């Protein structure tokens, strides 16, 4: 089962369904923590290594789909789902 966490805006997210923008946000958050003295180099290194592996797997998947001549549907690369419009009061 995927681990649930909160995104910077407070919404719950499932870690296995991160978008590339969310991944960038996580990396940026860790850099800011280091600058503010609230993070550790070990934490940033671990997150950076995991991010690199995620990106490598996406690259491999893209290369595979190119090889077989199909278009992939990789959730991490899809634009965020649009929120439905709220009726005005």
Is the pTM higher than 0.95? no
Please, what is the Cα angle at 13 between 2 and 34, to 5 degrees? 100
Q: Is the pLDDT of residue 13 over 70?
A: no
pLDDT per position as a tens digit, 35-57: 999 988 888 899 999 999 988 98
So what's the pLDDT on residue 1? 44
So what's the pLDDT on residue 84? 44
Tell me how far CA of residue 19 lies from CA of 13, 24, 59, 72, 80, in angstroms. Answer: 10, 9, 14, 15, 8
So what's the pLDDT on residue 55? 87
Between 82 and 66, residue with greater pLDDT: 66
Domain range list for the chain:
10-77
């Amino acid at each position: 089962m995927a681990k649930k966490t909160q995104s910077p805006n407070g919404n719950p997210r499932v870690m296995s369904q991160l978008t590339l923008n969310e991944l960038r946000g996580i990396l940026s958050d860790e850099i800011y923590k280091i600058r503010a003295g609230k993070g550790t180099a070990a934490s940033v290194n671990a997150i950076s290594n995991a991010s690199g592996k995620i990106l490598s797997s996406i690259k491999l998947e893209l290369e595979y789909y190119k090889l077989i001549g199909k278009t992939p549907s990789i959730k991490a690369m899809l634009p965020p789902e649009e929120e439905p419009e709220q009726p005005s009061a």
